[in-house]
Amino acid sequence: MVANEPLRIALLVIFALGLYLFLSGGLSDALEAEERRLKDLVDETLHELNTPIATIEANLKMLRRTCTGEREKRRLERIGGACENLTRLYESIEYDIKKNINHIENRIFDISETIADVIGRFEDIRGEIEIKNELDPFMIKADRAGFERVAENLISNAIKYNRPGGYVRIYREKSQLIFEDSGRGIDTKNLFIVFERAFQEIPDSKGHGLGLAIVKNYCDRHKIKIGIDTKKGTGTRVLLDLSIPHSMVSST
């Protein structure tokens, strides 16, 4: 009986290994099938959402061509603004879904041009805050849509926590992309938790506290070092280090 013990153990191990491979293969096939089904569902849903948005935009263009009254024009502008917000929301949902199923491709783009596009979105809400884009053309290879969200969140925070008549500067020092504001700054005791989801230095302020968490998630995925240089009452600088060789393409 003792002599047969090693053989019995070996057979049990072989049987267990075979059973594991059989089951894992079946589970893998099932997971792949479920992923394909989910992808098809996502593609169809996004297509269905895009159709009414395109219809609204097309009809809005026609109405703008025939509208003559100032009151009606103002109403159409409000509708146009709401449609643009809806489009950005759709693009944000599409981006999040594709990111979670690993369908986001990196591509080469100009950071200065992207920043200029993002700044334009704040034209109607920046008030007296001056936004300065001091970037020269600067090419990187990364997830452009995600980078737009990073810039949008950083600029939004810089406006939100700024002082009346303050400024927001976006500029570059060597490999560092810097978002600087003249706002109230961040309390040093909060620097360890500032990137956590739902963090808000002012608890009753508008928003959900997700902005810097989104920024940190993007930087982690692209191996971009992020730093914060701040002093309470004197403003904040957010520094993104783009020196990773595979991220930086060229600069002038």
| Domain boundaries, given as residue ranges, for the chain | 5-100, 107-251
* Rounded Cα–Cα distance for residues 233 and 12 (Å): 69
Provide the 3-class DSSP secondary structure of residue 62: helix
Q: Which residues pair with 227 in a beta bridge?
A: 239
> What's the CA gap between 199 and 155, in Å, rounded?
17
- R_g of the chain, CA atoms, integer Å: 25
Question: Could you give the CA distance from residue 25 to residue 27 in angstroms, rounded to a whole number?
Answer: 5
Task: Tell me what pLDDT residue 151 has.
Answer: 93
Question: Can you tell me the distance from the alpha carbon of 109 to that of 66, in angstroms, rounded to the nearest whole number?
Answer: 38
| Cα distance between residue 178 and residue 226, in whole Å | 10
**Could you tell me the pTM of the whole model?**
0.61
- What is the CATH number assigned to the segment(s) 107-251? 3.30.565.10
- What phi and psi, each to the nearest 5 degrees, are found at residue 75? -65, -40
- Residue 165 confidence (pLDDT): 92
Instruction: Give the span between the Cα atoms of 227 and 176, in whole angstroms.
Output: 10
Which pLDDT score, from 0 to 100, does residue 182 have? 93
Tell me, what DSSP letter sits at residue 190?
A: G
pLDDT on residue 209: 44
Neighbours of 153 (CB within 10 A): 21
Q: What does the pLDDT read at residue 205?
A: 47
How does pLDDT run along the chain (252 residues), one tens digit per residue? Answer: 455 555 565 566 656 666 565 555 555 566 666 666 766 666 666 656 666 777 777 788 888 888 878 888 888 888 887 777 777 777 777 666 666 655 667 889 999 999 999 998 888 778 889 999 999 998 988 888 889 989 988 998 899 889 999 999 999 998 899 999 998 888 777 666 677 655 555 544 444 345 688 888 888 888 899 998 888 888 899 999 988 654 555 555
